[in-house]
């Protein structure tokens, strides 16, 4: 099973700042199988980025993904109030696994 | 637009069976090509994939849970269901259903959309 480790656990930032979230895999991941999700309390998790760098339908261009191999990054430029949430990376090797999440909180 | 909604008891006694249903609305349930999936999130942890069922009834489960899990589907009623037997407090979690897009030849895979989740507590 591929283990995904996200860092940091909590990111404290102000609206308008940029956020950089990291996802590191225990072994190499096919980048087309690396996704990012946003989750707010009481809501359905939302697909943000698929295939490491492709924005899902309706996702603003303030969200971008990059990376390959074992290191992947989600960048949120110009944080909006609606962007404060928990973010998860997820991969599909022979079985899907998720990271433990990074919580982006208002400073 | 496809929407998923979980339903079922919020409290289950230890050693009993947890049963949840996911109702799919907005189309595509019978069209094939999707894997209907259960995911859970235990307190303080990231999400954990439980298993999937395809429209033809084929299933695949997380090896860590497969001895206790059964997922079934009713395409005429537009829903699929989860049963998890012999539950303990460690099975307390928010349970989500989701549609899994998986196209191995194209090497693409993602979960979208998800239901909003339902909290199941295992306690006597």
Tens digit of each residue's pLDDT (9 = 90 or more) over B48-76: 999 999 988 999 999 999 999 999 999 88
Between strands A102-106 and A10-13, the pairing is parallel
Is the model more confident about A107 or about B28? A107
What is the mean predicted confidence (pLDDT) over B1-23? Answer: 97
pLDDT for residue A91: 96
Q: Do B114 and A44 touch (CB under 8 A)?
A: yes
Radius of gyration of chain A (CA): 13
Judged by CB atoms closer than 8 Å, whether chains meet at B47 and A98 is answered as yes
User: Which chain B residues touch A32 with a CB distance below 8 Å?
Assistant: 106-109
Closest by Cβ to B47, choosing from A6, A46, A88: A88
Confidence grade of residue B28 (pLDDT, cut at 50, 70, 90): low
Is there a contact between B47 and A90 if contact means CB atoms under 8 Å apart?
yes
pLDDT per residue rounded down to tens, chain A (107 residues): 999 999 999 999 999 999 999 999 999 999 999 999 999 999 999 999 999 999 999 999 999 999 999 999 999 999 999 999 999 999 998 899 999 999 999 99
Contacts of A41 in chain B (CB under 8 A): none
Residue of B nearest to A89 (CA): B46
pLDDT at B75: 85
Element (H, E) at B51: strand B48-54
Check: CB of residue B89 under 8 Å from CB of residue B123: yes
Residue among B45, B49, B112 minimizing CB distance to A96: B49
Distance in Å, alpha carbon of B59 to nearest chain A alpha carbon: 13
Contacts of B102 in chain A (CB under 8 A): 92
Q: Is A84 helix (H, G, I), strand (E, B) or coil?
A: coil
So what's the pLDDT on residue B108? Answer: 87
Taking only the tens place, the pLDDT of each residue in B86-120 is 999 999 999 999 999 988 888 889 999 999 999 99
Token couple for B17: 């069976």
Say which of B62, B110, B111 has its CB closest to residue A95: B62
CA-angle at A12, arms to A11 and A15, nearest 5°: 115
* B112 vs B33, residue with greater confidence: B112
- Tell me the residues of chain B between 12 and 41 that have a Cβ less than 8 Å away from chain A: none
- Say how far apart CA A77 and CA A15 lie, in whole Å: 10
The β-bridge partners of B110 are B101
- What torsion do the CA atoms of A43, A44, A45, A46 make, to the nearest 10 degrees? -100
Q: From CA A52, how far away is CA A32, in angstroms rounded? A: 6
Rounded Cα–Cα distance for residues B34 and A62 (Å): 29
Asked, as a colleague might, if the bond just before B120 is cis with ω within 30 of 0, I would say: no
CB-based contact B108 A30, cutoff 8 Å:
no
Inter-residue contact A57 to A103 (CB < 8 Å): no
Tell me which long-range contacts B62-69 makes (C-beta under 8 A, separation of at least 24): B62/A95, B63/A95
pLDDT of residue B27: 73
- The answer to whether B114 contacts A98, with C-beta atoms less than 8 Å apart, is no
């Amino acid at each position: 099973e591929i283990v995904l480790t996200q860092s940091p656990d909590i990111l404290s930032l102000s609206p308008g700042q940029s956020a950089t979230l990291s996802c590191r895999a225990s072994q190499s991941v096919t980048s087309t199988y690396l996704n990012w999700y946003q989750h707010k309390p009481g809501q359905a998790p939302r697909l943000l980025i698929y295939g490491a760098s492709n924005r899902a339908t309706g996702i603003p261009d303030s969200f971008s993904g990059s990376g390959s191999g074992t290191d992947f990054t989600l960048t949120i430029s110009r944080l909006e109030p609606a962007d404060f949430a928990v973010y998860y990376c997820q991969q599909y090797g022979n079985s899907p696994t998720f990271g433990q999440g990074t919580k982006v909180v208002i400073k | 637009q496809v929407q998923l909604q979980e339903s079922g008891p919020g409290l289950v006694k230890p050693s009993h069976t947890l049963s949840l249903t996911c109702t799919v609305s907005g189309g595509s349930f019978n069209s094939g090509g999707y894997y209907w999936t259960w995911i859970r999130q235990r307190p303080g942890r990231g999400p954990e994939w439980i298993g999937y069922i395809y429209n033809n009834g084929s299933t695949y489960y997380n090896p860590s849970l497969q001895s206790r899990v059964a997922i079934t589907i009713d395409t005429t009623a537009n829903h699929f269901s989860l049963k998890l037997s012999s539950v303990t407090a460690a099975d307390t979690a928010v349970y989500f259903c989701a549609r899994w897009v998986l196209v191995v030849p194209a090497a693409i895979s993602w979960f979208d959309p998800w239901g909003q989740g339902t909290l199941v507590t295992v306690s006597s």
